[in-house]
Amino acid sequence: MNATANRVRLGILGASGYTGAELLRLLARHPGTSIDALTAEKNAGGTVGDLFPHLAGLDLPKLVKIADTDWDRLDAVFCCLPHATTQEVISKLPPRLKVVDLSADFRLSDTATYAKWYGHEHKAPELQKEAVYGVTELSREAVKASRLCANPGCYPTGAQLPLVPLVEGGLIDADDIVIDAKSGVSGAGREAKQGSLYGEVAEGIHAYGIASHRHAPEIEQGLSRAAGRPIIVNFTPHLMPMNRGILSSIYVKLANGATADTLRETLAKRFAGEPFVRVLPKDRAPATRHVRGSNLCLIGVFADRVPGRAILISAIDNLVKGASGQALQNFNLMHGFPETTALEQQPMFP
Amino acid sequence: MNATANRVRLGILGASGYTGAELLRLLARHPGTSIDALTAEKNAGGTVGDLFPHLAGLDLPKLVKIADTDWDRLDAVFCCLPHATTQEVISKLPPRLKVVDLSADFRLSDTATYAKWYGHEHKAPELQKEAVYGVTELSREAVKASRLCANPGCYPTGAQLPLVPLVEGGLIDADDIVIDAKSGVSGAGREAKQGSLYGEVAEGIHAYGIASHRHAPEIEQGLSRAAGRPIIVNFTPHLMPMNRGILSSIYVKLANGATADTLRETLAKRFAGEPFVRVLPKDRAPATRHVRGSNLCLIGVFADRVPGRAILISAIDNLVKGASGQALQNFNLMHGFPETTALEQQPMFP
Amino acid sequence: MNATANRVRLGILGASGYTGAELLRLLARHPGTSIDALTAEKNAGGTVGDLFPHLAGLDLPKLVKIADTDWDRLDAVFCCLPHATTQEVISKLPPRLKVVDLSADFRLSDTATYAKWYGHEHKAPELQKEAVYGVTELSREAVKASRLCANPGCYPTGAQLPLVPLVEGGLIDADDIVIDAKSGVSGAGREAKQGSLYGEVAEGIHAYGIASHRHAPEIEQGLSRAAGRPIIVNFTPHLMPMNRGILSSIYVKLANGATADTLRETLAKRFAGEPFVRVLPKDRAPATRHVRGSNLCLIGVFADRVPGRAILISAIDNLVKGASGQALQNFNLMHGFPETTALEQQPMFP
Amino acid sequence: MNATANRVRLGILGASGYTGAELLRLLARHPGTSIDALTAEKNAGGTVGDLFPHLAGLDLPKLVKIADTDWDRLDAVFCCLPHATTQEVISKLPPRLKVVDLSADFRLSDTATYAKWYGHEHKAPELQKEAVYGVTELSREAVKASRLCANPGCYPTGAQLPLVPLVEGGLIDADDIVIDAKSGVSGAGREAKQGSLYGEVAEGIHAYGIASHRHAPEIEQGLSRAAGRPIIVNFTPHLMPMNRGILSSIYVKLANGATADTLRETLAKRFAGEPFVRVLPKDRAPATRHVRGSNLCLIGVFADRVPGRAILISAIDNLVKGASGQALQNFNLMHGFPETTALEQQPMFP
C-alpha cells in the first residue's frame, strides 16, 4: 500500500473517527492508491494504531494537523470532518485536488435549506454549486465527471435507492411515504456521548430526531428531483443495539396501477448489473446482517394487506454503503478505477 | 408464597417457557396466591430450578404433566401452552376454575377468522363465546366479570393502547394506519430454533411475517370494534437484538381537525390515573429500556413534518405488559385483588 | 414511599449515576424509609425523571447541590459520590447521620495503602478508623453496630465471599490464588467515556487494569485478615459486552488435605441460612444471568483436572450485591430492618 | 472464482455450518482456487444463498450429499463435518485428494486419548498416523509436506501460540498453567440448541465444560510435546455474549529466572516476521475486537503483582484463526500458495 509512481496519493482528513478507520480498512486492499497524509487535530503526532489497534499492522503515515499537511504530495482527499468545519477546509484546498466529502456540508444544493437545518449560513456557496451529490447508482455519470463529490448520508442512501426509481416512474404516490429507519450506533460516531454508552444502547430501542432529523431534507431533495416537484416525507430514525447496519422500512401508496410486483420488477430492471445493489426475489426480506462489512444494498418489495399499498425494505451497512464504502466507490469512478476496486469483500456473518 | 387457607390456589400450565417463568418471577411477590401446580409435559418430574436456575430459590411444586394435575386443589390457572393445544386443555377444565389464557386461542372472537389465520377449525367455539379479550385498560369491567380471560398478544397490546382511544374518538383515519413494530427475541419463546440463535439475532435486524403476522387480525379486531366497521392495518414486525421490549412506531393520518396535541391530550385524559399507562409530555420519546421488567406502557405523540399526519410511539416489555404482567393484572381484577398487586416493581435500567 | 412519622429519612448523595438510580429502584419497595434529599451537582434543579426516565413515576424530591442539602431533615445517607470527594463530604456531615458509603474512600483501613493506590493522602483518617467494611455476610455484627459503613467494591464482593471462609479455614493456599473476573460495563459508571461506548464494548472482550486495578488491595485486605498475614493475589478484570453482572473464576491450590468437595461443603455450611448467598450443588455452574437484578451471590466449586487444585466461581449483579443492593442490606442491618427488606425480588431472566 | 485450468479444484464437505460459510467468505478472494463441490446432507439440492443469504451473490455449485460428490473433479477438500462422521468420510476419499480437516477427529495423535475423550474407538487409526496437526506457526514445515492436515481447535490455537514457545524454552513452569478462555457463541455452531439462543446468551456469562472440555487434551498434547513430558493444565472455557472471538487469559509461573519481559521478548523473537501473529508492546492488552474477521493472533505479556508470576493474553477470531482462516492458511502452505493468500483483509471494527 506504499506510494509508488503511478498510485493516486491520498489524504484522509479526520482520520480519528469510525468513517476514517473504515476507509483505511477498505483502502488497505486498493492496488492503485497510496495513503500519504492522515489528519487528526487532537491526536496529531500519534499513530492510527494508537486510536485503532485493529489497524496497527498497516504501514501508515503519522497523524498530523490539517494545517501541517503538505498538499503538494497529494492527488485526492477523503474528508471525514465534522459538519461546518468541512466547508472552510475544502474551500482552501488547492483546486487541483479531487475531494470526496463524507460530511453533510455539500449535500444540500440549496444553501437556504442548508442554513435552515444546520443553523448557519453556508460558508462556501460557490463550491456548493460545483459539488455532485453521489448516491453512485443514481448519478454515476455526474460523479465520474466530478471534482468534489458530496457523499450521501447513511439514511438517505438506504432510502433513496429504492424510492428514487419508483418516484421517477410514477409508480408510487410521492406525497404518501413513511420511512421508518433503524440504525446501528456507529452512525453516531466515536465521540464520547452519554447517549452512545453501552448501558444506554444495549438491550433497548427508541426513536430519536422524530420529524426533525437532518437527513430528512436530504432525502426530500432526492425525491423532489425525482418527482419534479417538492416532496415532504415522514422520516423517523431509531437507534438499534448493534454496531452496524441500517434497515429502512418504507411504507408507500401505489399509483398508476402499479402493484408490489411492478415495483419489484422496476427496481430489478433499474439495478440489473449493479455490483452492489440487489433486489431480492419475492418473499425474501433483507437483513442488515447479510450486508455487514460490505458495500451491498439489499432491497425487498412486499404487498401490503392494506389494498393499494406496498412495503419496501432496504438494508445497508451504514459505515460502508452508507459512508466509507460508497465514498470509495465514488472515488473509484472519479479516478478511472473499476468501480468495485477494494470493495469486493463478502459480508461477514455471523 | 406457600399455600395458606385464604390464598387463591394457582396452577400454571406450561411452566417451561419464558412467560411461565415470568409469571413465577412476578407471583413470588403476590401475597394472596399460592402456587400449587406447575405443568410441563417434557420436563415432568423435574423442578423449575432445573429449567430456570434464576428461580431455584423459590419453594415451588414439582413439574407434572397436565394429565396428572389435581384440579380439585386449584382455584385458577394461567395457561401458557402452545396455540391449538390450549383449546382442548381449557375446554376440559372444571368450569369452576378461572382461567387467564396467554395463548392466542381465544383472542379472536370470530372463529372463522381464527380458522383462516391458524389453519384449523376452532376446537372450543362455545368457550370462545365466553372468553373476554383483555387489554386491561380498554376492557377493565368485562375482565373483572370474566371467568376466561384471553390475554392479548404482545404486539396487539402495544398497538391498541394508543390506537383504540383515537379511533373511537374519530381523531385519526382508521383506514390509514401503519404500525412498524420492533420486538425483542424473547417473544419467540424458548424453543430451540435456528432463527432465535444468538448468532442469527445479535448485531442485526430484519422484518419478518411481513403482511402475514397472526397479530394483525388481533389488532384489526380491536380497531374494528373501535371504529364500528372493518379496519385493515399495515402491521410490520421486526426482530431486534435484545431480550425484552416492543417499540411500536405508528404512523397515522389526522381526522376531524385533530392535531398531534389533540391526540396527546386525548390519550392523557383517557389514561389519567392508570397505574401502568403513561402518556409522555410533548417531545419525550418512549424507550423500551425505560419499561424493562415492569408492567408499564409508555406512549409518546409527535407531529409529523408531513402536514395532517402524526406519529404515535408506544413502549412495553413484551414479557410483562405484553404477556405475564398483563395476565397477572387481569387475574388481580378477576379475583378482587388490587390491580397492581405484585406488579409494583420499577423498571430495571441499565 | 412518602415521608411519614416513623420512617427513616434518607438522602442519596450523588443520585445521577447508576448506583444512585439502582438504590432508588430498590428503595421504591422499602416500607420503612422516605427519600427526602437527592443531590446531583451538575443536574441540581432537575428531576430524577429527567436523568432516569425509567424512574419518572416515583414521587421524589428535586435534585439539589450538596451545599443546599438540609441535613436536619435526614436520618441517614447513601453516599454515591466519586472517590476522594467523598472523604470531604462525609467528614462534614453531622455525626448523628448514619452513612453507607458506596465509594472506595473508606474501604482500605490502612490509609498508607489508600494513598499508594489512590494517589493522594487520605483526607479523613479519623473517620477511616470508625468505618466498618461491610461484605454483609462476612461482618454482619460489625455492620449492625456501625455508623459509617464502607460498602465493598463490586469485584471484592464477588471474590471475598467464596475465598474468605476457605482462607480462614486453611483449606486453600492463600499464596496461590488467581482471580479472573469478568464484569458488565455498568461497573464503569454513566460518565461519557470513549471506552464505554457501545461500539467499543459490544461484540468484543478484553482485560484491563491488569495487575494494577484498585480493587486488588481491597481483596488482599480481606484475605490478609482471613489468613492472619499479608496476602498478594492475582486479580485480572475483564470488560464484558453486557450491562450487569460479575463472574469471578477463581483458581486455587488445595491445602491441608482439602478437596473440591470439602471446599463446597465448607462454604455451604458457612452460608447456610443466608438469604442471598447460595452454594450450588456439585456440577452446577453459576451464571450472571441467574442473579440479574437481584442481591444474590451464587457460588460453584469444581475439582480441577490438575491434581491438588480447585476452581471457585461466583456470580453477582455488580449493581445490586456488588453495590446498591448490598448497601441497602447493610442499611437494613444498621437500622434494625429485616435484612431482606426491599431486596426480595427475584432475578430477571431473560 | 470460477474454475479455470490451473486452479485448485476444491470441495467443502459440510458447507451448512458457520465454518463452511466462513471458508466461502474467505475463498471468494482466492485467485488460485475454484469451488467445485459443496456438500450438506440435510440441505442437498438447495443453494448456499438459501442457508447464508450474505453469500447469495457468489457463483457457487448447488449443495449435494457426500454420496453424490464426484471426487474426480476435485483436487482438495476442506472437511467441516461433525466429529466422528469425519473419520469415516475421510478414510474413503481417494488418497490423491489433499484434506484440511476442521473437525476434532485427527487432532489427537494418541487414539487412546481420543477414545477416552470422545467416547468411541477411533475409526481410522491408520489415517491418524498420517495426519499433521497444524497450528501453522508452530509446525509450518510439517504442514507444508502434509496431505491430511488436522486443523486445530479454536481454544487450542489461542492457548498454544503463546504457551508452546515458552514451555519449549523452559521459561515457565509447565505444571502450573491456568487457562481461562472466553469464547463467542459462534464456536458452538449453527445447530438449534437452547443453550445458544439469544435469550440464553445475551447479557450474561458463565463457565462451561469446567475441567471436562475436549479441547483440554488437545492443548495438553501440544504442551506435552513442548515440554518433553506429560503436562496437565487447567483449562476453563466461558461463553461470552458475542458472535466471534476468543480471549485466553493465561496465568503462569516463571521459571529459570525469566521475567515477564523475557517472556515477551522470547515470543516477539519467535513470531518476528509472522504475518498473522503479533506480540504487543509492553502494557498493551489484546482485545478480540481488534482481530474480528481477520486471521490475526494478538499476544500481550504482563507482569503479575504476585512475585514470580506472569499473565499471557491472546486474542483470535474463533472462526478465522481459530477455524477457517487457519485452515486456509494451512491449505495455502500445502498447495504452494503464498501463505497469506485470501487472508489479507483487515479486522472489522466496530
Domain boundaries, chain A: 8-152+322-335, 155-319
Do the Cβ atoms of C198 and A203 come within 8 Å?
A: no
Q: Which residue of D has its CA nearest to B51?
A: D194
Do the Cβ atoms of B182 and A311 come within 8 Å?
A: no
| Per-residue pLDDT tens digits for A309-329 | 999 999 999 999 999 999 999
Which D residues in the span 294-333 are in contact with C, Cβ-Cβ below 8 Å? 302-307, 309, 311, 313, 315
| Per-residue pLDDT tens digits for C262-319 | 999 999 999 999 999 999 999 999 999 999 999 999 999 999 999 999 999 999 999 9
Q: Could you give the CA distance from residue B160 to residue B30 in angstroms, rounded to a whole number?
A: 28
**pLDDT-based confidence at residue B5 (cuts at 50, 70, 90):** low
The H or E element spanning position C164 is: helix C154-168
Q: Mean pLDDT over all residues of chain A?
A: 97
pLDDT computed for residue D45 by the predictor: 98
pLDDT computed for residue D6 by the predictor: 86
Q: Which residue of B has its CA nearest to C243?
A: B350
Is the model's pLDDT at A4 over the cut of 80? no
Which B residues in the span 209-268 are in contact with A, Cβ-Cβ below 8 Å? 210-212, 216, 232-236, 238, 240-245, 247, 249, 251
DSSP per-residue codes, D212-235? T-THHHHHHHHHHHHHTS----EE
Is the model's pLDDT at D103 over the cut of 60? yes
Q: Could you give the CA distance from residue C204 to residue D292 in angstroms, rounded to a whole number?
A: 8
Q: Mean pLDDT over all residues of chain B?
A: 97
Q: What percent of chain C has pLDDT over 90?
A: 97
pLDDT computed for residue C286 by the predictor: 98
> How many Å lie between the alpha carbon of D240 and the closest alpha carbon of chain A?
14
Do the Cβ atoms of A201 and C198 come within 8 Å?
A: yes
Which C residues in the span 160-179 are in contact with D, Cβ-Cβ below 8 Å? 175, 178
Residues of B in contact with A180 (CB under 8 A): 178, 180, 249, 251
Tell me, yes or no, if the two domains C8-152+322-335 and C155-318 fold the same way: no
Q: Mean pLDDT over all residues of chain C?
A: 97
What is the CATH T-level fold of the domain D155-318, as seen in this structure? Dihydrodipicolinate Reductase; domain 2 (3.30.360)
Do the Cβ atoms of D346 and A57 come within 8 Å?
A: yes
Among D54, D57, D284, beta carbon nearest to A349: D54
**pLDDT-based confidence at residue D18 (cuts at 50, 70, 90):** very high
What is the CATH T-level fold of the domain B155-319, as seen in this structure? Dihydrodipicolinate Reductase; domain 2 (3.30.360)
Residue C154: active-site member? yes
Q: What percent of chain D has pLDDT over 90?
A: 97
Do the Cβ atoms of B242 and D190 come within 8 Å?
A: no
Q: What angle, 0 to 180 degrees and rounded to 10, lies between the N-to-C axes of helices D18-27 and D325-335?
A: 50
D29 touches chain B (CB under 8 A): no
Residues B285-291 have a mean pLDDT of 98
B202 touches chain D (CB under 8 A): yes
Among D202, D291, D349, beta carbon nearest to A21: D349
Residues B218-237 have a mean pLDDT of 98
Q: Hey, which bits of D89-160 come out as E strands?
A: 98-101, 132-133, 148-150
Mutate to test the interface with B, among D22, D198, D240, D244 (most CBs of B within 10 A): D198
| Per-residue pLDDT tens digits for B16-32 | 999 999 999 999 999 99
Q: What angle, 0 to 180 degrees and rounded to 10, lies between the N-to-C axes of helices C154-168 and C260-270?
A: 110
The burial of C32, by beta-carbon neighbours within 10 Å (0-12 exposed, 13-18 middle, 19 or more buried), is given as middle
Q: Which residue of D has its CA nearest to A56?
A: D290
Residues D143-153 have a mean pLDDT of 98
pLDDT computed for residue A49 by the predictor: 97
Chains with ≥3 Cβ pairs under 8 A against C?
Answer: A, B, D
φ, ψ at D298 (rounded to 5°): -100, 140
Chains with ≥3 Cβ pairs under 8 A against A?
Answer: B, C, D
Question: Are the C-beta atoms of B82 and B16 separated by less than 8 Å?
Answer: no
A194 touches chain C (CB under 8 A): yes
Q: Could you give the CA distance from residue A291 to residue D130 in angstroms, rounded to a whole number?
A: 41
Q: Could you give the CA distance from residue A1 to residue A11 in angstroms, rounded to a whole number?
A: 13
Residue A63, all three cell numbers = 497523524
Q: Could you give the CA distance from residue B148 to residue B140 in angstroms, rounded to a whole number?
A: 14
pLDDT computed for residue D2 by the predictor: 43
Chains with ≥3 Cβ pairs under 8 A against D?
Answer: A, B, C
Residues A279-292 have a mean pLDDT of 98
**pLDDT-based confidence at residue B4 (cuts at 50, 70, 90):** low
Residues D172-178 have a mean pLDDT of 98
- Furthest C-alpha separation in chain B: 62
Is the model's pLDDT at A3 over the cut of 70? no
Closest CA to D242 of A64, B241, B307: B241
Do the Cβ atoms of B346 and C58 come within 8 Å?
A: yes
Cβ neighbors of C104 (< 8 A, separation 6 or more) are C83, C118, C153, C214, C218
D139 touches chain C (CB under 8 A): no
C190 touches chain A (CB under 8 A): yes
pLDDT computed for residue C84 by the predictor: 83
| Per-residue pLDDT tens digits for A24-42 | 999 999 999 999 999 999 9
Is the model's pLDDT at D297 over the cut of 90? yes
**pLDDT-based confidence at residue C5 (cuts at 50, 70, 90):** low
Do the Cβ atoms of B243 and D190 come within 8 Å?
A: no
> How many Å lie between the alpha carbon of A169 and the closest alpha carbon of chain D?
27
**pLDDT-based confidence at residue A6 (cuts at 50, 70, 90):** confident
Is the model's pLDDT at D78 over the cut of 60? yes
pLDDT computed for residue D5 by the predictor: 63
Is the model's pLDDT at A1 over the cut of 90? no
**pLDDT-based confidence at residue B2 (cuts at 50, 70, 90):** very low
- What own/partner pairs with CB < 8 Å and gap ≥ 24 does B271-274 have? B271/B137, B271/B161, B271/B165, B271/B299, B274/B137
DSSP one-letter code for C343: -
Mutate to test the interface with D, among C177, C179, C249, C319 (most CBs of D within 10 A): C249
| Per-residue pLDDT tens digits for D201-256 | 999 999 999 999 999 999 999 999 999 999 999 999 999 999 999 999 999 999 99
> How many Å lie between the alpha carbon of A79 and the closest alpha carbon of chain C?
22
CA atoms within 13 A on the CB side of D273: 2
| Per-residue pLDDT tens digits for C313-346 | 999 999 999 999 999 999 999 999 999 999 999 9
> How many Å lie between the alpha carbon of D190 and the closest alpha carbon of chain C?
18
Q: Could you give the CA distance from residue C79 to residue C93 in angstroms, rounded to a whole number?
A: 11
Do the Cβ atoms of D211 and C307 come within 8 Å?
A: no
| Per-residue pLDDT tens digits for A72-86 | 999 999 999 988 889
Do the Cβ atoms of D204 and C251 come within 8 Å?
A: no
Is the model's pLDDT at C218 over the cut of 70? yes
Residues C59-83 have a mean pLDDT of 97
Do the Cβ atoms of B205 and A240 come within 8 Å?
A: yes
D85 touches chain A (CB under 8 A): no
Domain spanning A8-152+322-335: which CATH class is it, in words?
alpha beta
ipTM for the whole predicted complex goes beyond 0.90: yes
Catalytic machinery residues of A: 154
